[in-house]
Amino acid sequence: MKNMLEEIGTVGFGESVKNLEANLARVIRGKDESIRLVVISLLAGGHTLLEDVPGTGKTTLAKALARSIGGTFRRIQFTPDLLPADITGSSFYRPGDGTFEFRPGPVFANVLLADEINRTSPRTQSALLEVMGEGQVTVEGQRRELPRPFFVIATQNPSEFHGTYPLPEAQLDRFMIRVHLGYPDLKHEIEVIYDQNQKHPLDELQPVVGQSEILGLQAQVRAVHLNEAVVEYIVRLVESTRSDARLRLGISPRGSLALARTSQARARIAGRDHVLPEDVRALASPVLAHRVLLDTKTKYGGVTPEKVIEEIVERVVPPR
Partner 1 sequence: MRGGNREFVSIMQSETNVKKVPRLPLAALPASAVAFTSLALATENRVLTGVLGIALFATYASEARGKSASRGVWAARIFLYTWVLFSIWNRFGSEAGDSLEILLAFATGELAACELVIQAWLAKPFGGARGAIWVGLSCAVMLGASNTFEAAYIRFLVPVFMVFFAMSLRAFGAPQSDSPQTARGVSRRGIAGLAIVLAVISGMSLHAAVWGYRYEIGQLGARFFNETKPEAIGLSTEPHLGATFGDGGSLSRVLRLTNWPARQSYLRVMSFSTYGDARWTPLIDNRKFGDVAPTELRANAEGKRAQIERLIDDEGLMPAPLNSAGIAPPLNAQLEWEQNGGPLRSKDPAPSPFIYDVVLPPRESFQGPLSAPPTRAERANYLKIPDEIPSEVKLLALKIGGGFVDPREQVRAVEKYLMETHAYSLTTKPGAGDPTASFLLDENKAAHCEYFASAAAMLLRSLGIPTRYVIGYYVHERDGDATIVRMRDAHAWCESWIDGVGWISVDATPGGARPDQVGEPIPFWLHLRERVQDFVMLIRNSLAHLNQIPRAIWIFIGVFILFRIVVRSWKKRPAKSRSFVYQSPPQLQPFARRFEKLMRKRGALCPLQKTWREHLETLQPAPFDIALGLQWLRIYNRARFASQDENSQRADLARLHEILRTLEKSTSKSTPE
Residue 89 vs 319, nearer CB to partner 1: 319
Q: Name the minimum Å distance from CB 263 to partner 1.
A: 11
User: Which of these ranges, 33-41, 94-102, 112-120, 268-276, lies near partner 1 under the rule CB under 8 A?
Assistant: 268-276
Residue 26 vs 236, nearer CB to partner 1: 236
3-state secondary structure (DSSP) of residue 49: strand
Q: Name the minimum Å distance from CB 10 to partner 1.
A: 14
Sheet holding 175-180, edge to edge: 73-77, 111-115, 151-156, 47-51, 175-180
- For the segment 33-92, give every residue that binds partner 1 (CB under 8 A): none
Q: In angstroms, what CA-CA distances link 98 with 94, 95, 101, 141, 317? A: 5, 5, 10, 20, 66
Q: Which residues contact 8 (CB under 8 A, 6 or more apart)?
A: 216, 219, 220, 223
Q: What phi, psi does 230 have (nearest 5°)?
A: -70, -40
Residue among 81, 160, 203, 314 that touches partner 1 (CB under 8 A): 314
Residue among 143, 210, 242, 304 that touches partner 1 (CB under 8 A): 242
Residue among 56, 233, 289, 292 that touches partner 1 (CB under 8 A): 233
Residue 55 vs 301, nearer CB to partner 1: 301
Residue among 72, 252, 257, 306 that touches partner 1 (CB under 8 A): 252
Residue among 46, 57, 105, 277 that touches partner 1 (CB under 8 A): 277
Distance CA 225, CA 276 (A): 10
Q: Name the minimum Å distance from CB 168 to partner 1.
A: 7
User: Which of these ranges, 94-102, 188-196, 205-213, 232-240, lies near partner 1 under the rule CB under 8 A?
Assistant: 232-240
Strand ranges in the chain using DSSP code E only, listed in sequence order: 47-51, 73-77, 89-94, 99-104, 111-115, 136-139, 142-145, 151-156, 175-180, 247-249, 293-294
Residue 295 vs 306, nearer CB to partner 1: 295
Handedness of CA 190, 32, 70, 111 (dihedral sign): negative
Distance CA 57, CA 59 (A): 6
Residue among 134, 195, 273, 306 that touches partner 1 (CB under 8 A): 273
Distance CA 295, CA 249 (A): 8
Binding positions for partner 1, rule: CB under 8 A: 1-2, 122, 166, 168-170, 225, 227, 229-230, 232-233, 236, 239, 242-246, 248-250, 252, 272-278, 281, 293, 295, 297, 311-312, 314-320
